[in-house]
Amino acid sequence: MVNTLDPQNFNNFSEASVSVEIETEDMTLNIGPQHPSTHGVLRLVAKVDGEKVYDVKPVLGYMHRGYEKLAEVRSYPQITTLVNRIDWVAGFSNEIPFIAGAERLMEIEVPERAKHIRLILTEMARISSHFVFNGAYALEVGALTPIFYAMEDRERVLDLIESVTGGRFHPNFNRIGGVKPAAGSGPTTKKDIQDLPAGFYRDTKVAMQKVIEAADQFQNLIGGNEVFKKRTKNVGILTAETAEAFGVSGPILRASGVKSDLRTLTDYLPYDQFEYDIPVGENGDCYDRWDVRVKEMVESAKIVLQAIDSMPSGPLQAKVPKVIKVPKGRTYVRAENPKGEMGYYIVSDGGLGPYRLKVRTASFSNISILPLLLEGALLPDLIAIMGSLDFVLGDVDR
Amino acid sequence: MEEFLSKINENFINTDVEFETINIKVDSSQWVETHQKLKDEFDLKFFSWLSAIDWDNEVSIGEAPKESVSPSFEIITCLSNVSNNNLVTVSTTISKLEPKITSLVEIYAGANWHEREAYEMFGINFENHPNLEKLYLPDGYEGNPMLKSFELISREVKPWPGEVDVEGMPEEPESDESVDG
């Protein structure tokens, strides 16, 4: 690239008729893999011309753990443990579609109470994931305060998940046919042991009220901030058409104005029993992506509160064979996870483990639009756009 | 859903429905036009994923198929519509000796990374792909890890199911025996 300085513009030098040619070079900027804003180990090789980014190449694989290969040598109950670690910010949500797929092939009818507990916990996982996003995203665009509020509020939700499952991040709570008997629940009889811990309903009601308050607080603290608005409005606009062709799902798709939610479209959990809104954005910019997630937290809290009020009684486990063998067949079960569509394509040959397990994760497809979104963006916007996609590298690389 | 299914059945020969998912089997020569048709006429604009299955009777790990299969690669794509629950998987079978198929990037831009993954994991060549190079694996990595013949090194040391790895596997279940919830 050659920039010519026109001597006519420099009156003092015009008589000397100086013509200077300055050679400029494209710079290749290497971001990551160890970079705080990449939510893990994503590497971006960006070509920049001054402040403008004109070509970005994401380099993946630093977190590749080979789940699909491992799944071929594990039995179904063992895979439940593995899949927790795919999207570690919302570990519980990862179990749902896998377990639902195995149950579908085995034709097991899960008890209503177990389904409700699954639903409550997966919504809590969504809330905790969106808390992390709120804190981290504000941090990335320059606001230090919100992450402290977000982490404090998230801890309240994680405590609840822990009180039921025994794990904060990796609950490993689902069993084929139902859920595990809850940890730390009543001391004596078998019936007590298998139920939710004492005081769970009361604590949940308090925590969910706090979530609704926190979302309101974020709307003021983050959304009301002029700098935040300037950094995110009309930045990184994604159209609905492009999003669909790339398989972008979840809050990012909804921020582009598509009212699409697998919770209402499919029946992997009894969401049809509850009333909630599906927040959508208008412009598909970074601000809308943030806004949709904050509003979703409130809706999730509402679902949890309704689910607690209408909690059915009954067993937590359906009758299942002692040795889990999934009949021959194949199925694809997808679920609306905090980051978008997550699904497992199970190809069973009637054995102890699947013949082939394809893991479809949301973040993988979501960040495949990065090269497109970042083309022509300013370098400071790169972080704002990347952060708004809310990806987790475990979910990208698997 | 029923209307959609009857329209699918009118247009494609080899279809079946399994758990609310419509499966369409096509010949590899019709791979691209099938997808074009599904996108334009059936409104399946959401590209969910693409992957492959290595069908082989001899496996180095895991369990071999119980019934003999003809060694081949099965390539599967999953397409859906964001505003209803129409879900279609399209599959085709290609030879293992010359594993190649035309890329779908022209139709679904999202196929790009999925095809790169299938390329490195199975060694399938996607023709007309704009940038067919490794996605996850490091440069210089040899072999295609998702092939059934590819050995998992930890398994060589620790055969599965091993005493160290899991408890001794229980015997075949009796039909009426069950865990009571």
Q: Do A321 and B83 touch (CB under 8 A)?
A: no
Please give the residue of chain B at the shortest CA–CA distance from A263: B85
Question: Picking from A73-87, A118-132, B149-163, which range would have the lowest pLDDT averaged per residue?
Answer: B149-163
Structure tokens given for B122 = 């199975």
Q: Is B125 part of a structural domain of the chain?
A: yes
The C-alpha atoms of residue B79 and residue B40 are separated, in whole angstroms, by: 12
Q: Is B166 part of a structural domain of the chain?
A: no
Query: What is the per-residue pLDDT across B46-94, written as a single tens digit (0 to 9) for each?
Result: 999 999 998 888 877 777 788 888 889 999 999 998 888 888 999 999 9
Chain CA centroid to CA B76, Å:
4
Per-residue model confidence (pLDDT) at position A313: 80
Share of chain A above pLDDT 90, in %: 18
Q: Do B166 and A75 touch (CB under 8 A)?
A: yes
By Cβ distance, the residue of B82, B137, B179 closest to A260 is: B82
By Cβ distance, the residue of B82, B150, B177 closest to A253 is: B82
A272 CA: distance to closest CA in chain B (Å) = 14
Task: Give the pLDDT band (50/70/90) at residue A193.
Answer: very low
Query: What is the per-residue pLDDT across A20-43, written as a single tens digit (0 to 9) for each?
Result: 777 777 888 888 787 766 677 888
Per-residue model confidence (pLDDT) at position A188: 42
* Chain A interface test: which of B38, B55, B58, B63 (most A C-beta within 10 Å): B63
Per-residue model confidence (pLDDT) at position B178: 47
Query: What is the per-residue pLDDT across A147-170, written as a single tens digit (0 to 9) for each?
Result: 898 998 889 899 888 888 888 888
* Chain A interface test: which of B4, B17, B35, B49 (most A C-beta within 10 Å): B49
Q: Is B137 on the interface with A (CB under 8 A)?
A: yes
A177 CA: distance to closest CA in chain B (Å) = 9
Task: Give the pLDDT band (50/70/90) at residue B172.
Answer: low
Mean pLDDT of chain A: 84
By Cβ distance, the residue of A64, A73, A320 closest to B136 is: A64
Q: Is B169 part of a structural domain of the chain?
A: no
Q: Is B15 part of a structural domain of the chain?
A: yes
Tally the C-alpha atoms within 13 A of residue A66's C-alpha that lie toward its C-beta: 17
Look at chain A and count its residues: 398
Nearest to B114 by CA among B135, B95, B87, B128: B135
CB contacts of B54 in chain A (<8 Å) are 356
The C-alpha atoms of residue A248 and residue A244 are separated, in whole angstroms, by: 6
CATH of the domain at B123: 3.30.460.80
Average pLDDT over residues A289-300: 92
Tally the C-alpha atoms within 13 A of residue B96's C-alpha that lie toward its C-beta: 15
Q: Is B141 on the interface with A (CB under 8 A)?
A: no
Per-residue model confidence (pLDDT) at position A345: 92
Strand B46-55 and strand A356-360: the pairing is: unpaired
User: What ipTM was assigned to the predicted interfaces of this complex?
Assistant: 0.83
Q: Do B170 and A341 touch (CB under 8 A)?
A: no
Query: What is the per-residue pLDDT across A346-378, written as a single tens digit (0 to 9) for each?
Result: 998 888 888 889 999 999 999 899 888 888 888
Per-residue model confidence (pLDDT) at position A15: 52
Q: Do B179 and A322 touch (CB under 8 A)?
A: yes
Query: What is the per-residue pLDDT across B6-44, written as a single tens digit (0 to 9) for each?
Result: 777 777 778 888 887 888 888 888 899 899 988 888 888
pLDDT at A390 over 50: yes
Return the top range by mean pLDDT from A2-11, A15-24, A302-311: A302-311
Query: What is the per-residue pLDDT across A216-229, written as a single tens digit (0 to 9) for each?
Result: 988 888 888 888 88
Task: Give the pLDDT band (50/70/90) at residue A191.
Answer: very low
Question: Model pTM?
Answer: 0.83
Q: Do B89 and A332 touch (CB under 8 A)?
A: yes
Radius of gyration in angstroms for the set of CA atoms belonging to chain A, rounded to a whole number: 24
The C-alpha atoms of residue B53 and residue B73 are separated, in whole angstroms, by: 6
Please give the residue of chain B at the shortest CA–CA distance from A74: B62
Q: Is B113 part of a structural domain of the chain?
A: yes
Name the residue ranges covered by the structural domains of chain A.
76-362
Q: How many domains does chain B have?
A: 1
Please state which CATH number belongs to domain A76-362. Answer: 1.10.645.10
Task: Give the pLDDT band (50/70/90) at residue A303.
Answer: very high
CB contacts of B65 in chain A (<8 Å) are 349, 355
Could you tell me which residues come within 8 angstroms of residue B23 by beta carbon, excluding any fewer than 6 positions away? B15, B16, B17, B88, B89, B90, B91
Query: What is the per-residue pLDDT across B131-165, written as a single tens digit (0 to 9) for each?
Result: 888 888 888 888 888 888 887 776 555 555 555 55
B168 CA: distance to closest CA in chain A (Å) = 12
pLDDT at A298 over 90: yes
Task: Give the pLDDT band (50/70/90) at residue A128.
Answer: very high
B28 CA: distance to closest CA in chain A (Å) = 21
pLDDT at B122 over 60: yes
Range of the domain at B86: 2-157
- CA distances for B91 relative to A210, B15, B95, B107, angstroms: 48, 10, 14, 16
Per-residue model confidence (pLDDT) at position A141: 86
CB contacts of B170 in chain A (<8 Å) are 322-323
B150 CA: distance to closest CA in chain A (Å) = 10
CB contacts of A259 in chain B (<8 Å) are 83
Q: Do A245 and B110 touch (CB under 8 A)?
A: yes
Burial zone of B128 (CB within 10 Å; 0-12 exposed, 13-18 middle, 19+ buried): exposed
Q: Is B172 part of a structural domain of the chain?
A: no
Q: Do B18 and A60 touch (CB under 8 A)?
A: no
Q: Is B170 on the interface with A (CB under 8 A)?
A: yes
Q: Using DSSP, state whether B15 is helix, strand or coil.
A: strand
CB contacts of B89 in chain A (<8 Å) are 332, 345
Q: Is B54 part of a structural domain of the chain?
A: yes
Q: Is B112 on the interface with A (CB under 8 A)?
A: yes
Per-residue model confidence (pLDDT) at position B159: 55
